[in-house]
């Protein structure tokens, strides 16, 4: 995935401030922005825009916490539609990453391989997201699917999710949702975040 923002993509982080983000309760976001980088600070934040099918690109950096272990080691999360968490963590060097390591769909799917860079290095997630489809009764007829690349390596290949992950904003999977970034108390940083909304289907014209 190129770092160039595609035409029609939405730059959900403007590299200056978090004025187009809110906290979960709708209050103003208060993450710190310096030199085009935003740092986790006092609560989860989510976009005011809502999305259905999309491509997401973002970059993140975990802190160097050599005395910490497991979930205490540079923890954050990227919640697609506010409902499905891709874990952010310093999992560098783990031979067989699990369902709580970096790149996992939290507590549902482990990454296919450990694609992590060391802490204090910028890393990328590129996500191809297809939202759940529901019928007129609100019943799911096609589950959410996604493909994830970390640092240009496929770590999830068109997987079907059984449902929302923990700490989701809701379970209204047929409704558009925000991009949510998690505050887990660690100094994780983000930059270069854009989303390209996709149509729900292509043209039926020849």
- The domain tally of the chain equals 1
User: Which pLDDT score, from 0 to 100, does residue 1 have?
Assistant: 47
Question: Is residue 15 situated within a structural domain?
Answer: no
Mean pLDDT of 157-166: 98
pLDDT, tens digit, 9 for 90 and up, residues 92-129: 999 999 999 999 999 999 999 999 999 999 999 999 99
DSSP 175-198: S-B--EE---SS--EEEEEEEEEE
Q: Is residue 148 part of a domain?
A: yes
> Which residues does residue 156 pair with via DSSP β-bridges, in sequence order?
148
CA nearest neighbour of 88 among 79, 98, 76: 76
Is 11 inside any structural domain? no
Inside any domain, residue 39: yes
> Is residue 7 domain-resident?
no
- Residue 86 belongs to what domain range? 21-198
15 backbone φψ class: left, alpha, beta (φ>0; ψ -120 to 50): left
- Measured distance CA(19)–CA(25) in Å, rounded: 15
- Residue 129: burial class (beta carbons within 10 Å; 0-12, 13-18, 19+): buried
Question: Within a domain: residue 4?
Answer: no
Q: Judging by DSSP bridges, how do beta strands 145-150 and 133-134 pair with one another?
A: unpaired
Domain presence at residue 203: no
| Average predicted confidence (pLDDT) for the chain | 96
3-state SS, residue 56: strand
Alpha-carbon distance of 180 to 46, in angstroms, equals 4
User: pLDDT tens across 129-150, in order?
Assistant: 999 999 999 999 999 999 999 9
CATH code, domain with 42: 2.60.120.560
Residue 16 lies in a domain: no
């Amino acid at each position: 995935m190129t770092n160039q923002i595609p035409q029609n993509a939405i730059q959900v982080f403007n590299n200056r401030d978090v004025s187009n983000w809110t906290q979960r309760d709708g209050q103003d976001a208060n993450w710190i922005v310096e030199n085009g980088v935003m740092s986790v600070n006092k609560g989860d934040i989510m976009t005011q825009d809502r999305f259905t099918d999309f491509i997401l690109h973002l970059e993140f950096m975990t802190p160097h916490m050599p005395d910490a272990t497991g979930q205490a080691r540079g923890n954050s999360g990227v919640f697609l539609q506010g409902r499905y968490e891709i874990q952010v963590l310093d999992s560098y060097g783990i031979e067989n990453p699990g369902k709580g390591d970096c790149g996992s769909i939290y507590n549902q799917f482990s990454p296919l391989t450990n694609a992590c860079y060391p802490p204090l290095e910028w890393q990328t997630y590129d996500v191809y997201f297809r939202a759940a489809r529901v019928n007129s009764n609100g019943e799911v007829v096609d589950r959410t699917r996604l493909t994830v690349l970390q640092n240009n390596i496929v770590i999830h290949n068109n997987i079907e999710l059984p449902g929302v992950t923990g700490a989701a904003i809701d379970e209204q999977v047929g409704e558009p949702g925000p991009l949510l970034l998690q505050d887990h108390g660690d100094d994780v940083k983000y930059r270069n975040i854009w989303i390209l909304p996709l149509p729900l289907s292509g043209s039926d014209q020849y």
